[in-house]
Amino acid sequence: MFKKRVAYIVDSDASYRRRFALALRHQGLETRAFSSDADLVEAASYLPAGCVLLAIRGPERSGLDTIRRLLAQRSDMPVIMMRVDPTIREAVQALRAGAVDCLPIPCPMAKVRLALDYAYEILPAKVAHQQFIGEAAALRAHLTSREEEVLKRIVGGMTNRQIALDLAIGVRTVEMHRGNIMQKLRMDNLVALIRFATLAGIAGSNEDAA
């Protein structure tokens, strides 16, 4: 069922960590164990995509920070928080911080598998999305600051004429910028442009909003 699926286990409890890793390997997963969440966060950018099983044994706040820092680096990795007797509040905070689920410690393997099955199901789409974000950031670097100003206004729904007025430049100049943007980004339509702006984190601007 699991093929070359990597699970990253984070747990400060050494004996539990070992037993859990062994149990997951019996399920056919590759495992890598970390004794602290700091170790995982430090290594995160070099790791192949996989699911993170993050046991939080200390105060919950540190766990939320770890989830956020991890996802800031690796939005492609599904994170499952694990905790002894998680309260509703703790679980909801973890989910709101971006975890896909919260499981109790100890947890029946059938339930761990159910959560992992879902996580591995969404992993390819998340990896692809992370890749798109990377590509969009690389393409964005080719734009001049003026072109980015024009792009923000295109995405914000302004016409060439409105953009020209807003930036106090000629309509022909806007058209030229628009052509250059399309060429640099290798795009030929507005929908693709809006999608690019979203991935690159470029917010649309509009004279009404300004």
Partner 1 sequence: MTQSPLYRFGLAGWLYASRCALPSAWAQRAVDDIVAKSIPRNASLEVTGALLFTGSRFVQFLEGPAESVVAIRQNILADRRHHDIVTFLSGGRVERIFSNWSLAYAGPSLFVADKIENLFHNGVHNTSEVIDLLEQFVIIAEANKP
Task: Give how many residues touch partner 1 by CB under 8 A.
Answer: 16
**Which amino acid makes up residue 172?**
R
Q: What is the pattern of x (binds partner 1, CB under 8 A) and - over residues 105-144?
A: ------x--xx--x--------------------------
Spatial separation of the C-alpha atoms in residues 57 and 49, rounded to whole Å = 24
43 binds partner 1 (CB under 8 A): no
From the list 102, 123, 155, 163, which residue makes contact with partner 1 (rule: CB under 8 A)?
A: 102
Q: Which residues pair with 102 in a beta bridge?
A: 81
103 binds partner 1 (CB under 8 A): yes
Where would I find the H helices in 5-108?
A: 14-26, 37-43, 60-73, 88-97
Spatial separation of the C-alpha atoms in residues 65 and 61, rounded to whole Å = 6
CB nearer to partner 1: give 7 or 163.
7
Spatial separation of the C-alpha atoms in residues 14 and 20, rounded to whole Å = 10
With contacts defined by CB under 8 A, name the span among 36-44, 100-108, 132-140, 147-155 that binds partner 1. Answer: 100-108
From the list 88, 141, 191, 210, which residue makes contact with partner 1 (rule: CB under 8 A)?
A: 88
Nearest 5°: phi and psi at 200? -80, -5
205 binds partner 1 (CB under 8 A): no
CB nearer to partner 1: give 84 or 190.
84
Asked whether the bond before 106 is cis by omega within 30 degrees of 0, the reply is yes
Binding residues for partner 1, rule: CB under 8 A, are: 86, 88-89, 91-93, 95-96, 100-103, 111, 114-115, 118
